[in-house]
Chain A
Amino acid sequence: MRKTLFLIVALALVVGLVAACAPKATPTPQPTKAAPQPTPTKGEEMDPISKLDPSGQELLFWHVSTRKHEKALMEIIDGFNSSNPYGIKVVPEYAGYYGDIYKKILAGIAAGETPDLAVSYANQVAEYAKAGVIVPLDPYMNSKKYGFTEEEKKDFMWNLLEGDKRPEFGGQYLSFAHSRSMQVMYYNVDWLKKLGYDGPPKTWDEFKEMCVKATDPEKGTHGYAYSGSASLFATLVFTFGGDIVTKDNQKVAFNSEAGLKALQLLKDLFDSGCAYEVAERYGDQKDFANQKALFTFGSTAGLPYYRSAIESSEAGPFQWDVDAPPTAIGKPVVNVYGPSVAIFKSVPERQLAGWLFLKYWAEPKNVAKWAMTANYFPIRKSAIELPEMQEYMKKNPQYKKAFNLLPYGRMEPSVAGYQQIRGIIADMMKQVIEGADPQQALEAAAQQAQAVLDQNK
């Protein structure tokens, strides 16, 4: 008896000691408190930003751009550095590609040293925000002195910035994007004509029918060169009227009828032999250019590479085009995506200086320059009116066509942990095209994804 008592006391002591030694819980992020509401501001008290003076700040900007992208970015940065009246200087630093910059920032957060601005995907920004290092942008956007005017606000296509808004932070913008791309269906116009169709498929049934007709084992041709990714799954789910997670980012939503139909569609395409998975990265682009596949799905950022591959292909060039993916809900829907830029917490003046750079970058001539370099779409309507943009559209008819699909754009969730969920979704797709039961694969993936969401709350 005494022994047991002794044991219990000893145990309690040890537990107490461990608890005392454990590192203090990191303070939870409180940007919601610090930031005023995103409603239009009235008077100086509601708009403390306008009182700040950003003069003389030097900002560190981590980016992912190389070569021609870097050149365009440098031009924008140089333009800002030489023209802003506050003497703000942006210092760019290449920090690797998206995966690398993410790791670099996580290490920086742990060390307590982050850049002033960084390029990342919105779901990565969501993870930084959880650590409390991201500045919500609404007060800056709405500032009387430094924000956008009402007229400017009307000029933006806000549906393209949907992913930058965070429900957990009172629906505020945690990042800003200057351009977006979208996932479209690439199709071979000449080949479709040969098969007796005068236009691209509007529904998935038509798509499947065309795929079957284009498939010829003897010639080695297929309807659809499939390259699986969570973005493709999102596209499919959107076209069946579903969603990946709920609006409040709390619950997985793809284990719905839409999700099941999406997986079933993939399974049908593979079972009938008219779709095949490409072995290498961008292999679908290659097979499309060599007329081995009638359809592919890919980003509009890939348009120039498709064009160059088609123009120099062995079998010779052919007529091709892009369109919204087939849909089951009666109206087109496209998956819009692309990286954003976030501002990291420092002192109010520096944060404001960062905002002024983002705002400068958002000027029509700059978003147009940036869009044309990356073959992305500017997020401002007025940028399209610029003569250089008009010229660009004339030269790139597919780009123009895709541009007109922007109003149908929807965005993938940008919740913390989405990067991990993307992996789960990709595995699920892989299992299904290799013969797994769609319903079971869907349920299993949804469970795993929900666990990730819960972990990231």
Chain B
Amino acid sequence: MTTFTVTFGGTRFHVRLSLARFILYVLITAGAFIAMFPFIWMILTSFKSYGEVTAGRFFPREIRWHNYVEAWQAAPFGRYFLNSIFIALTTIAGDLFTGILAAYAFARMEFPGRNIIFFIFLATLMVPGELTVLPNFLTIRKLGWYNTYQAQIVPFTASVFHIFLLRQFFMGIPRDYWDAALLDGCTHFRFLRSIVVPLSRPAVVTVALLSFIGSWNAFLWPLIVTSSEKMRPIQVGLRSFVVEEATQTQLMMAAATMVIVPIIIFYVFTQKYFTEGLTMTGLKG
């Protein structure tokens, strides 16, 4: 056991660590730094001048807060923000609603052709997203949904991948629970609501987060199905920094920093479930 002395804010801390643990921490810190590097670069770049960007300087000479002002003024970001938040939240709600019901049916209910239908569902995962743009667009036009919120929401309120993810998780819930619930006169819906969903919180939150990220980052689809600034989400605003023969990288990064703040906040609150969702393969204990 070795004792390390760390000074932080004028106070000295004595940390007792084994050498192996120390090395592990150093490696983890290095790994974290590498993973965070793009973000650090993004934030530093958001304070640079155009010349500093082209000169490839890592640290800005001075902090240019003005980039943020300029970036904010470049497009109606306030409106874009509200649109993105509204679209993302409603998409999550719809996605969870269809996802949980479908996943439960595939995981727990017996009906003819269950496996075949599930495989057909899975097969659609092989269809590249770009191929669906045109048919989806024609559908939206036919429904008269051009330049509306629902055009940006409804197509994403069902995701086969999310159904698959939830189904795998639901299948890990012991059958005994269902048998016990059935004895007590529980219906499928009650069982789903009171037992399956609470037990699967990590998976549900993971799906919500994936759905949020997908919706928050969507660019081409919203651009195609909207015509007015009033309906457009934040990613369309980010595009305004791409100009011919030069991208105003510093402004783009300032805007990108503003744009990812909500995602980071969302992640901070859901981080626990997110990591659980990714690492848990079944039910513990």
Which A residues fall within an 8 A CB radius of B?
66-67, 69, 93-97, 100, 103-104, 106-107, 110-111, 113, 281-282, 285-286, 289-290, 298-299, 301-302, 305, 308-309, 311-314, 374
A100 and B220 contacting across the interface, CB-CB below 8 Å? yes
Q: Which of B56, B57, B146: most chain A CB closer than 10 A?
A: B56
A93-B228, A313-B51 known; A111-B138 Cβ under 8 A: yes
> How many angstroms from the CA of A64 to the CA of B88 in the assembled complex?
26
Asked if B173 lies at the interface with its beta carbon under 8 angstroms from chain A, I say no
Q: Is the CB of A107 within 8 A of B133?
A: yes
Q: Are A100 and B51 in contact (CB under 8 A)?
A: no
Say yes or no for B187: interface residue by CB 8 A criterion.
no
Q: Specify which of A95, A113, A290, A301 is in contact with B245 (CB 8 Å cutoff).
A: A301
Given A289-B55, A312-B54, 6 more pairs with CB closer than 8 A? A66-B241, A106-B134, A290-B55, A299-B244, A305-B246, A309-B54
B228 proximity list for chain A (CB < 8 A): 93
Shortest Cβ gap from B123 to chain A (Å): 23
Per the bound structure, the CA–CA distance linking A107 and B224 in Å amounts to 8
Report the Cα distance A230→B133, complex, angstroms. 28
Which residues does chain A contribute within 8 Å of B138, judged by CB atoms?
Answer: 110-111
Asked whether, in the complex, the Cβ of B245 is within 8 Å of the Cβ of A312, the reply is no
Contact B137 A111 (CB under 8 A): yes
B239 touches A97 (CB 8 A): yes
* A282 lies within 8 A of B245 (CB): yes
With A66-B239, A312-B50 as contacts: A285 and B246 at CB distance below 8 Å: yes
**B240 proximity list for chain A (CB < 8 A):** 66-67
Contacts of B56 in A (CB 8 A): 286, 290
Q: Is the CB of A308 within 8 A of B137?
A: no
CB distance from A283 to the nearest CB of B (A): 9
A312 close to B52 (CB less than 8 A): yes
B236 contacts which chain A residues (CB < 8 A)? 96
Interface of B is mostly: helix
Contacts of B220 in A (CB 8 A): 100, 103
Interface size, chain B (Cβ < 8 Å): 32
A100: nearest chain-B partner, CB-CB: B223
Q: List 25 A-B contacts (CB under 8 A).
A: A66-B74, A66-B240, A66-B241, A66-B242, A69-B243, A93-B228, A96-B236, A100-B223, A100-B239, A103-B133, A107-B134, A107-B224, A110-B138, A111-B137, A111-B138, A111-B141, A282-B246, A285-B246, A299-B244, A305-B54, A305-B245, A309-B54, A312-B52, A312-B55, A313-B54
> How many whole Å from A121's CB to the nearest CB in chain B?
12
B158 to chain A: closest CB distance in Å? 22
Please indicate the chain A residues that have their CB under 8 angstroms from the CB of B57 in the complex: 314
Q: In the complex, A289→B239 CA distance in Å?
A: 26
Q: Which residues of B contact A285 (CB under 8 A)?
A: 54, 246
Known A-B contacts A96-B236, A299-B245; the reply to A107 vs B137 at CB < 8 A is yes
How far apart sit A69 and B242, CA to CA, in the bound complex (Å)?
11
Chain A's nearest CB lies how many Å from the CB of B249?
9
CA distance in complex: A107, B223 (Å)? 11
Task: Decide if B49 is an interface residue (CB 8 Å cutoff).
Answer: yes
A289 touches which of B54, B223, B243 (Cβ 8 Å) = B54
| Known contacts A67-B74, A97-B239, A100-B223, A281 near B247 by CB under 8 Å | yes
| Chain A residues with CB under 8 A of B74 | 66-67
Contacts of A100 in B (CB 8 A): 220, 223, 239
Bound complex: CA of A154 vs CA of B92, how far in Å? 60
Known A66-B240, A111-B141; contact A313-B247, beta-carbon cutoff 8 A? no
Q: How far is the CB of B46 from the nearest CB of chain A, in Å? A: 17
User: Is B18 interfacial (CB 8 A cutoff)?
Assistant: no
